[in-house]
Chain A
């Protein structure tokens, strides 16, 4: 009896320790980035750092405004591509085809998530960018190219989470809607999407997180020019790619500037998360 009690206790504490170790690593990373980055921001001045678009480490100019804009644009672009496709795919798989087809198609789309990002980048460089260059103009490596590639990359995340949310809507809701004379599309639009809303939003948030943080594929297809994009055909450099591009060469102040870029990225992600979380809560309240 005592042995069992001790064992129970031990398991409990081991699990607590494990759970907190994940939290501790998050904390350590945050402390590390801020410790390296914040002194730099203080030294250069928050305004010069955040609101200038001039990034020339050799000349001592460090402005990340263009990269903040680029990160937001690329993420937003990826959502425009990925979210409608993902949600539409989820609706289709749950409401319009038989279970048998779903069982084949859904795992196939989830396989997309297993493809390494460098492969997506490669496809972007050899297939998508030349198409954009030939048909729309510009250098091809661009905001548009990055958005398209990222949109496909976030597709499986959004779709599988949204599909799970939709399939967990009780069947009685569907039957009720149909019994009231709604067509299939009406029942999807008026009942099922509303009932599954929080799950769908959760899927979009997860996709958003992936899009903001993606680095490798974006380095390959975005062109990496530090400028505020004037059109979707302009090359851009995001916060993540800036860090990855220059970390290998950076020393001294330049290195600190990259950590400060990390701080900005951290804050941007926090804000995006908070905004979507708030949007989700409002969605619940309105229901």
Chain B
């Protein structure tokens, strides 16, 4: 009977979401905003919401995670006034939503610190991740097998990574991890591993490789040289208005953008 637990959890989550949405409607809607979606942007949205609420005590902002797909869904259904998504290409169902780019995020290709490889061409990255190149020797490293580590299907980071590189299918034997943090740990612990994660979450435990000779660094991304960059969108149903508009304006203001930059993402402009 233990197997039921997941379904139960899903149901509880759905019920909680519904309850939250209901209480959200019950309160003065103009001053209560729910922001939901991308887990990568969630911590930033929380910080921004705190700063915003400090100046506007009359507004209450609730920030929820759940992933980019949920951000789109809840923005469409009205359960959240603002959805968050970090995808290069928004799916067709998001066509009816207003999208505002509030930040950009680089995706770093990472290897173990003990790996000699420090630069890969775009073609090589594609070949490594789709499994056609299976040995580090073929891309300038030691004679060891390559272990591909990827995010799960549907993850914003993964779809952006695949969309930007274009035209490849992930190797069948790739290991799948469900967060930036576990990807980083897996690569940090395995000499042969290669993975990718959000630029803001890089640490010394792993080594980012250059892409076509361009390092994954803030200056390079801002200058537009680094290729693997995705936008972070805030989504609203119809043009934003009231408190939601004020919040988005705050995120785009110099102060909001500075908060985003200080915590590891890149400003929208």
Binding site for B on A (CB under 8 A): 26, 29, 32-33, 56-59, 125-126, 129-130, 133, 139-141, 209-210, 212-215, 219-220, 223-227, 234-235, 237, 239-240, 243-251, 254, 262, 265-266, 268-269
Contacts and interface: CB of A to CB of B under 8 A. Distances in A.
B153 A58 contact: yes
B67 A249 contact: yes
B2 A214 contact: yes
Given A29-B11, A225-B172, A225-B174, A248 B154 contact: yes
Interface stretch (B51-59, B183-191, B234-242): B183-191
A285 B57 CA distance: 73
Given A245-B152, A246-B153, A248-B67, A266 B178 contact: no
B70 interface: yes
22 contacts: A29-B7, A29-B8, A29-B11, A33-B7, A56-B169, A125-B186, A125-B189, A141-B186, A213-B6, A219-B178, A224-B152, A224-B178, A226-B172, A239-B3, A246-B154, A248-B70, A249-B69, A249-B153, A251-B72, A251-B93, A262-B6, A269-B1
Contact of A227 (B10, B173, B185): B173
B66 interface: yes
* Secondary structure class of chain A's binding surface, majority of residues: helix
B4 A125 contact: no
Interface in B1-48: 1-8, 10-11, 39
Contact of A213 (B4, B67, B152, B190): B4
A225 B153 contact: no
A57 B159 CA distance: 12
A111 to B, nearest CB: 20
Contacts of A213: 1-6
B66 A224 contact: no
B154 A250 contact: yes
A235 B175 CA distance: 7
Contacts of B2: 209-210, 212-214, 269
Given A32-B7, A125-B182, 18 more contacts: A56-B153, A56-B169, A57-B153, A133-B189, A214-B2, A220-B182, A223-B176, A224-B176, A225-B174, A225-B175, A227-B173, A237-B176, A248-B39, A248-B66, A248-B69, A249-B154, A254-B154, A269-B2
Nearest to A215: B6
Interface string B146-157: 010000111110
A66 B41 CA distance: 34
Contacts, number: 118
Contacts of B4: 26, 29, 213, 266
Contacts of A227: 172-173
B69 A251 contact: yes
A133 B186 CA distance: 12
A223 B175 CA distance: 5
A262 B173 CA distance: 24
Contacts of A226: 172
Contacts of B174: 225
Contacts of A57: 153-154
Nearest to A272: B3
- Most A C-beta atoms less than 10 A away, residue of B7, B156, B159, B173: B7
A251 B154 CA distance: 9
B190 A250 contact: no
Which of B70, B91, B152 gathers the greatest number of chain A CB atoms within 10 Å?
B152
Contacts of B173: 225, 227, 234-235
Contact of B152 (A130, A139, A246): A246
Nearest to B172: A227
B73 interface: yes
A231 B101 CA distance: 47
Contacts of B186: 125, 141
B5 A215 contact: yes
Nearest to B72: A251
A133 B192 CA distance: 11
Query: Across chains A and B, which 8 residue pairs bring their CB atoms closest together, nearest first?
Result: A213-B2, A249-B154, A224-B176, A248-B67, A213-B3, A245-B152, A223-B175, A249-B69
Nearest to B66: A248
Nearest to A235: B175
A225 B3 contact: no
Nearest to B155: A249
